[in-house]
């Protein structure tokens, strides 16, 4: 069973995901799944199989083999994936591998941080008159997002860039070089929905120079588009002042 762990907070899992974790006896989980979510599988053996940028990680083929072997042994297996299994998470590859091996598999969707992250910071990814749609891209590898952004009309849709914290300067430089206005609203969202949540809002021209807090992991994203200007108005949670607030 492929289960979406949601954006971070345990109470944002679906009821079906929580039930699956409670029934599992083996959980293979991603690196950024929170401890609170893992605690929902008290009787399961839990093994970290997630990938971390720039660090040694388990090969995808090995993950496939672990799932297949455990399922064939009669174990109740949950492959716990951050966000939604089918949003930049190789969930499709894992389903294909399981089906090819003759293993029945169920996919339990999860709330993707691509939408939940901005929302937690008061940023709607769509808004009448500002953004009729949104685009989700991975910043790794860079040639993928470059091909898309080079042909996109600046500000026409909201752009959400996942796995992008370390590439924010590169993203800003590329966009400006391709005619995007440096005044375009931009945001960085880290640890959305968690107590450690941190958000910066400013402009594309400022994005490269933002100092972000040191965290253990890459649970963050970049948002580009006019909807970022709505963040302060739409905030519904009491946070510490944002960097943009302190600078005023």
Could you list the active site residues? 30, 51
Dist CA 136 CA 233 (whole Å): 24
Helix ranges (DSSP H) in 91-181: 91-100, 113-120, 142-149, 168-177
Q: Structure tokens of 193?
A: 């929905």
Q: Which of 89, 96, 142 is nearest to 114 (CA)?
A: 89
Hey, is 134 helix, strand or coil?
Answer: strand
Dist CA 71 CA 74 (whole Å): 5
Q: Which of 173, 107, 166, 108 is nearest to 138 (CA)?
A: 166
């Amino acid at each position: 069973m492929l289960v979406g762990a949601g954006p971070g907070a345990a109470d944002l899992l679906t009821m079906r995901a929580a039930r699956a974790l409670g029934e599992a006896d083996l959980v293979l989980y991603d690196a950024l799944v929170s401890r609170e979510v893992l605690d929902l599988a008290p009787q399961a053996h839990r093994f970290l199989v997630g990938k971390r940028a720039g660090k040694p990680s388990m090969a995808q083929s090995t993950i496939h083999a672990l799932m297949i072997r455990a399922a064939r042994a009669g174990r109740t297996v949950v492959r716990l994936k951050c966000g939604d299994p089918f949003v930049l998470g190789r969930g499709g590859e894992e389903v294909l591998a399981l089906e090819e091996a003759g293993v029945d598999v169920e996919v339990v969707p999860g709330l993707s941080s691509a939408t939940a992250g901005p929302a937690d910071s008061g940023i709607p990814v769509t808004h009448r008159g500002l953004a009729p749609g949104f685009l989700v891209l991975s910043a790794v590898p860079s040639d993928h997002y470059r091909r898309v952004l080079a042909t996109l009309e600046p500000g026409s849709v909201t752009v959400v860039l996942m796995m992008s914290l370390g590439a924010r300067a590169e993203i800003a430089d590329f966009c400006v070089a391709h005619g995007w206005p440096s005044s375009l609203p931009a945001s960085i969202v880290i640890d959305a929905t968690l107590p450690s949540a941190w958000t910066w809002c400013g402009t594309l021209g400022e994005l490269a120079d933002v100092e972000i807090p040191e965290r253990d992991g890459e649970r963050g994203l970049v948002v580009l588009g006019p909807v970022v200007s709505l963040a302060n108005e739409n905030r519904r949670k009491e946070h510490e002042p944002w960097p943009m607030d302190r600078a005023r």
